[in-house]
Structure 1
Amino acid sequence: MKWKTALEEMKPYKPGRSIEDVKRTYGLTHIVKLASNENPYGTSQEVLDYLDQNPLQYEIYPDGHSSRLRKKLAEKHGVSEESILFGNGSDEIITIICRALLDEGKHTIMATPTFPQYAHNAKIEGAAITEIPLKDGLHDLDAFLKAITKDTTVIWICNPNNPTGTLMPVGEIVDFLHHVPEDVLVVLDEAYFEYITDDQHVDSISLLEQLNNIIVLRTFSKAYGLASMRLGYGIAHPAVVTPLNKVRNPFNNNSLAVAVAEVAVQDKEFIEKCRSLNDQQRMRFKQFAAHHGLHMFDSQTNFVLIQVPSDADEASEFLLQQGYIVRSGNALGTPGYIRVTVGTEQQNDGFFTAFDKFLQQGGSHEE
């Protein structure tokens, strides 16, 4: 087979350990998955009620325009319906952007570490990649500006950033955007937007009123608790959305995903509850880290990146044996740290107990 040469040094995405796999391997009966930043509170009761009461016509193709959901999201965000691009998860929108704007001879800029699918898809398209190291856990936007060349077509900003959970001040982003050439698309990936509690943060969608070269990505996979449905969307000026729609596959969102998203987006109370509960539990992680003298990045998401006093793989393996699935920072570009989804109060109680055992075994930084 005459594969693209870029694939030779690439690896397929490796998902984390499943609950059933961990049960079998370690002989455990109770497992808590805190590795994939899913919503531990599930999804809206209104969604569950809808699924019980509304059967689908399985033989009928989905509405390729997602008309009802499009209308609801346009009203929610105060944008035109033509400003919305749907994807099979925001992952697919990242792929669409790369297919539309990147190829050999083109250049893209992103942070490191950040969400790996930006670089993954850019490599497949043969584009040149500049990765700018984070500065104190945040995007170094001055370095981004210096890295722009005549061949730059896409810049990626994950905000809050994954895996650090850190949030860029909106003022810095606005200043940066006004210095980016108008023919360079800036992707503001805001998968964790609904978890932000910083009262100084401004909704980036409002920036579309003054800037035509940005696209804001959102998803139903995180706070809405619909990760299995694979539904994300981007909001941009119609002049950006129209070319991207030429790359998008027809019927890329299934009927069930669109139908439940129409219900979920209306349940504001559920999102507010999840944001509040997550903030309370996130504070417990901050207090735990401070008590043990462990560094933890200031998170505005439903996960934390917390320091471990030894190898991250070793820490992850120990916690796995205790029944807690987390992500080792060795796989995320953050050695010496683990990424932990903020669970429910009960889940976090157990996690802290397991982490304490690890610290007692391996030694903590506690003075």
Structure 2
Amino acid sequence: MKSAIPSRNVLKRMKPYSPGKPIWEVQRELGLDRVVKLASNENPLGPSPKAVEAIRELLSDIHRYPDAQAVDLRATIAAKYELLSEQIIVTNGGDELITLVSEAFIETGDEIIVPGPSFSEYEFGGQLMGAVIRTVSLTEDYQYNVPAILEAVSERTKLLYLCSPNNPTGTILSQSALTEFLNSLPPNVLVILDSAYSHFVTEDDYSDGIEFVKAGYPVIVLQTFSKVYGLAGIRVGFGVASPSIIRAILQVKEPFNVNALAQAAAAAAIVDDDHVRKSSLLVKEERLRLYQGFEELGLSYTSSMSNFILVELYENAEQHYVELMRKGVIVRYGAAWGLPQHVRISIGTPEENNILLQALRMILK
């Protein structure tokens, strides 16, 4: 019998997040023995070994509920960044923080400003709460158009998202530009600075945003353990803001939102400086090597400060995306960001990147 229970009208305007295809699915669909996944910006070196050991040690205790306040993990993060525990909230990945912020601060009819193209989940949380989404396009070379963003701010603006490095372009908003920008905003606009990819930045004029929280700006910094720490599979992230902002978000947080294994693994990973150094170095070195490979193939790309590169494949981008998958290389097609002539390619191990470049040579030939 067909259900007669109507869903909320807002769902008709919302598009669920579409993740990249997992390795097993491509293997099953195409009958491939080996698949290289360069689509989801994961750490090709795997998880922090210290995190894996922390999980092993806790396995016999998983019949207990996790710490609802994530006390130990918040204390470890606070020590790492010289913050107070009261300035930190731990969430089920960065995605949950985005939703919680909307639930805590958005009233129907409030406005959210988001850059475009950027991470689609910024719009998702706002739409869910009945906000009006104002998208401000990046410039032609995918830089933040600060004057246009400031011009879009109105008396209804409640939240403003910045992603630096930006996903999917890999471009950043410099520290100097960010300082000037924050000083130009009305004090009642809450800025969410997503610096999930900050560990891969090599530019000197850059800030992950935490300094602005310490200085008292109305800023929430979003960080994740899914990228440089290699813990994407257990979903844990955190936000940094003033204690009053954190308290407001905590009012809408589920009590046991981050599982015990994730908390233990994250606390171990954030102090595993050796794994962070190796992971960051791999990305920085392979990023340059991929630039050279793309140039030899005559491909245009956007210089990136992240662990992925936006590459232009022109009018054949979707066809080449499919051809790469048939050769066992998964990348991310750019149509979802309004970039139908591009693919986003995560930076893998040297071997994985060699496979990618060889596949591109065969396809483009």
TM-score grouping bracket, smaller chain normalisation: over 0.9
What code does the residue aligned with 1:344 have?
A: T
8 Å CA contact 1:38, 1:221 repeated in 2: yes
Residue by residue over 1:257-313, the C-alpha shift from the partner in whole angstroms, topping out at 9 and shown as x without a partner, is 001111111111110111011100011121122223322111111111001143321
Which residue is equivalent to 2:215? 210
Report whether the alignment pairs 1:34 with 2:38. Answer: yes
- Letter of the 1:76 counterpart: K
CA distance, structure 1, for counterparts of residue 233 and residue 162 of structure 2:
25
Instruction: Choose from 91, 94, 112 the match for 1:90.
Output: 94
| Distance in structure 1 (CA, Å) of the matches to 2:132 and 2:16 | 20
Alignment of 1:279 with 2:288, yes or no, is no
Displacement after TM superposition at 1:59 (Å): 2.4
After superposition, the C-alpha distances for 1:194-244 in whole angstroms (9 at most, x for unaligned) are 111223323421112323310101000111000011100000111111111
RMSD over aligned CA atoms reads 1.3
Query: What is the deviation of 1:44?
Result: 1.5
**Contact 1:138/1:168, CA 8 A, preserved across alignment:** yes
2:105 aligned to 97, 101, 105, which one?
Answer: 101
Distance 1:4 1:102 in 2: 17
The letter for the 2-side match of 1:18 is: P
Report the number of matched residues.
Answer: 360
Take 1:250 and 1:69, find their aligned partners in 2: how far apart are those partners?
15
Give me the whole-angstrom Cα distance separating, in 2, the residues matched to 1:221 and 1:210: 27
- Give the secondary-structure state (helix, strand or coil) at the position aligned to 1:109: strand
Q: How does 1:62-141 map to 2 (within 5 A)?
A: 62-135=66-139, 136-141=141-146
Percent of aligned pairs sharing the same letter = 36
One-letter amino acid of the structure 2 residue matched with residue 174 of structure 1: T
- Match in the other structure for 2:171: 166
Task: Tell me if structure 2 keeps the 8 A contact 1:4–1:124.
Answer: no
Q: Match of 2:69, as an amino acid?
A: H
List gaps (5 residues or longer) in structure 2: none
Displacement, 1:332?
Answer: 2.4
CA distance in 2, matches of 1:220, 1:181: 32
Deviation per residue, 1:18-75 (Å, 9 max, x gap): 2122112212101011111110100122222333344342222111111111111111
Cα distance in 1, alignment partners of residues 223 and 56 from structure 2: 27
1:56/1:256 contact within 8 Å kept: no
1:52 aligns with 2:56: yes
Q: How does 1:1-367 map to 2 (within 5 A)?
A: 1-135=5-139, 136-360=141-365
Q: Which amino acid aligns with 1:234?
A: G
Range moving further from structure 2, 117-126 or 42-51: 42-51
Cα pair 1:312 1:330 within 8 Å, conserved = no
For residues 314 and 157 of structure 2, the distance between their equivalents in structure 1, rounded to whole angstroms, comes to 40
Q: In the TM superposition, what is the alpha-carbon distance from 1:253 to its structure 2 partner?
A: 0.6
Contact 2:165 2:171 in 1 (8 A): yes
Q: In 2, distance between residues paired with 1:38 and 1:181? A: 36
Counterpart of 1:296 in 2: which secondary structure?
Answer: strand
Q: What's the TM-score, normalizing by structure 1? A: 0.95
